[in-house]
Amino acid sequence: MDPVGVRRDMSRLALEADTGLTVCHVPSVRSTVVHRLVCSQLADGQRGYWIDARNTASTHVLYDCAASPRALEGLQIARAFTAYQHHSLVRRVARVADSETALLVAPNVVDRYRDDDLREYEREELLAATLTILGELGHALDCPVLVTAADEDAGAAVSEYADHEIECLETREGIRLEGEGVQTDGYWHGSYWQTTIPYWVEVCGALDRGIDPVVRAYDRGLVESTADGEAETEVIV
């Protein structure tokens, strides 16, 4: 693939995904498919949150994929170096993400939960809580949540919680995405991933219409109000 050609084509990419959790099965933890999707999805400066693990969020790759640096203006990234931090970031997103949020991504979402410093009893539950919150956030905010899994075990762990699954294949022709909501007739540089879900504001209007995502999350038993905490709300599962 000639890099200039790829970059030009990148700008045409968009994500045709429903709200909720979408797992993308990628061939390696270094896969850059998520970078490309983010760049195309947030092309017009929309707000997105990237919860990073294993230093996937290479800014060099992001700049390479973006049509212009402006395209990344709405993206906020934070890196987790422990499972605890990863989980905390997911909770933090639950507090800060709002109707303007167009996309949440968490590449290699399982990886940190495999670290040695986790006690066995909390490993699964912490991951389950992370994935549940991410999925519910997708519904509450009406936005796609994209996570990646690079191996079978990770894929299986995430699939349980995912609303949608797509497969990222590396073929001789390039990278191809397969799955619901993804057109399979083109290869990466030619495919077209269209957002079909109107964003929350477009659906529900302004916040005073009464369906604040946090309220919705509360209704689903996701969010607990705390009086003395630093934050107004804290997600529990």
Partner 1 sequence: MAYTFEFDGGTVRAWHLTAEGAESEGVDYTPSLFVDGPDTALEALAERLATDPKVCATTFERRYTSLHDTKSDRSRVLRVSLERLSKIWTLADEIRGVHEREFDTAPGTYRLYDVDLAPGFRYCLDEGVDPTPTRELRTLRIEIDDRALANRTLSELRLDGETVEGEPAEICWSLWRRLERDDPDVLVVSHGELIPFLETVASEAGLDGFHLGRLPGSTRVAGANTYESYGQTGHSPARYRIPGRAVIDESNSFLWHQSGLDGLVYMVRRTGRPLQEAAWGSIGTLLTSRQIRLARQQDVLAPQNKWEPETFSSVETLHAADRGGFTFAPEVGFHENVHEIDFASLYPRIICQHNVSPETVGCACCAGDDERIRERVPELDYHICREDGFLPGVLRPLLDDRAKYKRELDRDPDEAAERRLRAKSGAIKWILVSCFGYQGYRNAKYGRIECHEAINAYAREIVLRSKRHLESAGWHIVHGIVDSLWVTPRGGGDSRTTAEPKQEQEPEPLETVLERISCEIGIELEHDGEYEWVCFVPLRGSGSGSRSGERSGTGAPAGALSSAPAGALSSTPAGALTRYFGKRTGGGFKCRGIECRQRSTSAFVADCQREFLEVLDETRDPEAVCDRLGRRLGELRRGDVEPTDLVVTKRVSQPIEAYQQRTHTVAALRRYDRHGVERHPGQTVQYVVVDDDARNPERVRLEFELEFESETRSQPTYDADYYAARLVRAAESVTSPQGWDRARIQRYLADGRTVQLSAFRRR
d(CA 174, CA 181) in angstroms, rounded, equals: 19
DSSP letters, 59-96, are: HHHHHHHSSSGGGGTTEEEEEESSHHHHHHHHHHHHHH
Query: Hey, how many other C-beta atoms are within 10 angstroms of the C-beta on 119?
Result: 7
Q: Which of 77, 169, 204, 215 binds partner 1 (CB under 8 A)?
A: 77
**What's the min distance (Å) between Cβ of 149 and partner 1?**
20
DSSP 199: P
Asked whether position 188 contacts partner 1 by CB under 8 A, the answer is no
Asked whether position 92 contacts partner 1 by CB under 8 A, the answer is yes
**What's the min distance (Å) between Cβ of 198 and partner 1?**
25
Question: In degrees, to the nearest 5, what angle opens at C-alpha 168 toward C-alphas 8 and 150?
Answer: 120
**What's the min distance (Å) between Cβ of 230 and partner 1?**
8
Q: Which of 37, 80, 143, 146 binds partner 1 (CB under 8 A)?
A: 80
From 58-66, 98-106, 143-151, 203-211, give the range in contact with partner 1 by CB under 8 A: 58-66
Asked whether position 194 contacts partner 1 by CB under 8 A, the answer is no
Asked whether position 1 contacts partner 1 by CB under 8 A, the answer is no
Q: Which of 10, 62, 140, 214 binds partner 1 (CB under 8 A)?
A: 62
Query: Hey, how many other C-beta atoms are within 10 angstroms of the C-beta on 198?
Result: 10
Q: Which of 13, 21, 34, 235 binds partner 1 (CB under 8 A)?
A: 235
Looking up tokens 């395209």, which residue turns up?
A: 71
Size of the site for partner 1 (CB under 8 A): 46
Nearer Cβ to partner 1 (177/223):
223
d(CA 151, CA 111) in angstroms, rounded, equals: 10
d(CA 145, CA 142) in angstroms, rounded, equals: 9
Looking up tokens 């994929």, which residue turns up?
A: 65
Q: Exposed (0-12), middle (13-18) or buried (19+): which is 52, by Cβ within 10 Å?
A: buried
Nearer Cβ to partner 1 (53/166):
53
Looking up tokens 């998520």, which residue turns up?
A: 34
**What's the min distance (Å) between Cβ of 55 and partner 1?**
7
Asked whether position 98 contacts partner 1 by CB under 8 A, the answer is no
The tokens describing 234, both together, are 């804290």
Which residues contact partner 1 (rule: CB under 8 A)? 49, 55, 57-64, 69, 72-73, 75-82, 84-89, 92, 96, 116-117, 119, 121-122, 125-126, 129, 224, 226, 228-230, 234-237
